[in-house]
């Protein structure tokens, strides 16, 4: 039996779409579950802002619905004191997928 290879940084779900600076440019996050999606969100922020805990820190994360779409809003504080807000469209993460259950 082959041992499963652990995922390397940068592998896994990809965030696509806009830069996440507004709802209109929200990053669309895909994946098999919400934990994998959250990993993609934080990876996107790290690509733009650097390392969490050093270059930026989480201020607040919330989830909300607008129409038929569901979004995560993540607010971070950069090392220089500036705050940025990122928007992620997580609608696809919440939809039923084959093999994942749901109706």
- The backbone torsions φ and ψ at residue 76, rounded to the nearest 5 degrees and listed phi first, read -125, 155
The secondary structure of residue 25, as a DSSP letter, is: G
Q: Is 91 left (phi over 0), alpha (psi -120 to 50) or beta?
A: alpha
Residue 10 in this model has a pLDDT that exceeds 50: no
The per-residue pLDDT for 35 is 83
Closest CA to 54 of 71, 34, 35, 79: 79
Across the range 41-45, mean pLDDT stands at 95
The number of domains in the chain is 1
Query: How are beta strands 69-78 and 27-29 bridged, if at all?
Result: unpaired
pLDDT band at 14 (very low <50, low <70, confident <90, very high): low
User: What range defines the domain where residue 64 resides?
Assistant: 20-94
Q: What digits encode the pLDDT tens for the residues 46-96? A: 999 999 999 999 999 999 999 999 999 999 999 999 999 999 999 988 876
Rounded to two decimals, the pTM is 0.79
In a domain, 10, yes or no: no
In a domain, 7, yes or no: no
In a domain, 64, yes or no: yes
Q: Average model confidence (pLDDT) for the chain?
A: 84
Residue 32 in this model has a pLDDT that exceeds 50: yes
Distance CA 16, CA 25 (A): 10
In a domain, 89, yes or no: yes
In a domain, 1, yes or no: no
Distance CA 48, CA 79 (A): 13
């Amino acid at each position: 039996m082959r041992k499963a290879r652990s995922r390397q940084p940068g592998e896994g779900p990809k965030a696509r779409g806009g830069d996440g600076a507004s709802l209109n440019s929200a990053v669309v996050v895909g994946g098999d579950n919400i934990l994998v999606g959250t990993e993609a969100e934080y990876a996107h922020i790290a690509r733009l802002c650097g390392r969490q805990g050093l270059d930026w820190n989480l201020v607040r994360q919330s989830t909300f619905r607008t129409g038929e779409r569901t979004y995560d809003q993540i607010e971070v504080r950069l090392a220089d004191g500036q705050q940025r807000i990122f928007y992620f469209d997580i609608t696809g993460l919440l939809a039923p997928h084959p093999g994942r259950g749901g109706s």
